């Protein structure tokens, strides 16, 4: 009785400490709803950081500095700028920030693609090449001892590119990693949105800094430590820092896509982990046609929709040279 009671307390304590999301957890009472809401605290912090750049940018620069200078609303004569600059900055910023926020929320609320238990509970067939579909249970990747990869927690066999996520408690198809900032796994069905999110952060940062620099270059105003000018300086520095960090991460993730890897593949390969930057700098990459094909597997077959945060038909699984684990 004591052991059973201890086991129940341990399980409940583990569940209370584990982060959950809307894809794997259903709140059945108020405590469960509070648990679900608290699990999205890191994601809320990420949204706060993003809005902490966007909102001051509009308040201090677009409507506090640029609009008065464009429409002559109290600005000095030598600090005025063309009205077209204001409309260009406003329109382009709305497009950039809409793409950024849409990509982020789609990465958060799109299911990463969990392995279907009905298909993968039956013993898969072992083949030489990586299978082209998840529909039929067939694998080319085995363990170091030559056995099938089996998940005892989910009670199913793992597809070649699937891994069990201890945070989600499910096996995720083409799992890249579990990101606490979106409270979700990055997998087969939401990798595009995650990549677009980390790509649009530096794009928006460049837009913010470029628009502020363009204003001061065209108006002749000096960026002093007064009024909106110091606010503009802080926004530019914050956006630049944020964009630099996420820009390096997006460059790394683009390298993973181009070389047909995931973050977990890279993590478990010491040689790749040490030399990926050197390979990227020396352009030791596949031919452009192969890179385009691999990007189409993540971003979709229609290149015109590559940079739009919309769902695209799933392509075949990537042809990878599986390493034994």
Q: How far is CA 13 from CA 10, 36, 138, 183, 241, in A?
A: 5, 15, 38, 20, 38
> Of the listed 168, 179, 185, 204, which one is catalytic?
179
d(CA 248, CA 223) in angstroms, rounded, equals 28
Radius of gyration of the chain (CA): 24
204 catalytically annotated: no
Residues 6+ positions from 223 with CB-CB distance below 8 Å: 216, 229, 232, 233
Q: Two tokens at 257?
A: 């896509």
Closest CA to 51 of 87, 128, 105: 105
Q: Residue 117 in contact with residue 156, Cβ under 8 Å?
A: yes
Active site residues: 179
């Amino acid at each position: 009785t004591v052991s059973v009671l201890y086991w129940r307390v341990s399980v409940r304590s583990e569940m209370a400490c584990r982060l959950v999301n809307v894809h794997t957890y259903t709140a059945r009472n108020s405590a469960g709803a509070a648990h679900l809401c608290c699990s999205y605290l890191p994601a809320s912090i990420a949204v706060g950081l993003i809005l902490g750049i966007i909102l001051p940018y509009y308040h201090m620069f677009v409507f506090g500095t640029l609009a008065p200078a464009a429409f002559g609303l109290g600005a000095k004569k030598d600090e005025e700028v063309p009205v077209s600059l204001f409309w260009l900055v406003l329109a382009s910023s709305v497009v950039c920030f809409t793409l950024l926020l849409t990509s982020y929320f789609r990465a958060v609320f799109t299911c990463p693609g969990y392995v279907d238990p009905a298909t993968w509970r039956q013993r898969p067939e072992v083949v030489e090449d990586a299978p082209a579909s998840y529909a039929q249970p067939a694998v080319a990747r085995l363990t170091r001892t030559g056995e099938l990869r089996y998940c005892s927690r989910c009670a199913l066999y793992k597809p070649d590119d699937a891994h069990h996520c201890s945070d989600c408690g499910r096996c995720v198809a083409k799992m890249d990693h579990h990101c606490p900032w979106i409270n979700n796994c990055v997998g087969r069905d939401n990798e595009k949105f995650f990549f677009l999110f980390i790509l649009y952060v530096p794009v928006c940062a460049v837009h913010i800094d470029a628009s502020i620099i363009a204003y001061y270059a065209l108006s002749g105003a000096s960026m002093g430590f007064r009024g909106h000018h110091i606010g503009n300086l802080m926004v530019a520095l914050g956006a630049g820092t944020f964009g630099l960090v996420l820009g390096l991460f997006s460059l790394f993730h683009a390298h993973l896509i181009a070389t047909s890897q995931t973050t977990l593949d890279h993590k478990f390969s010491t040689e790749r982990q040490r030399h990926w930057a050197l390979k990227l700098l020396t352009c030791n990459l596949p031919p452009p046609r192969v890179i385009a094909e691999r990007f189409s597997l993540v971003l979709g077959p229609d290149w015109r929709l590559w940079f739009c945060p919309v769902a695209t038909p799933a392509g075949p699984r990537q042809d990878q040279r599986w390493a034994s684990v």
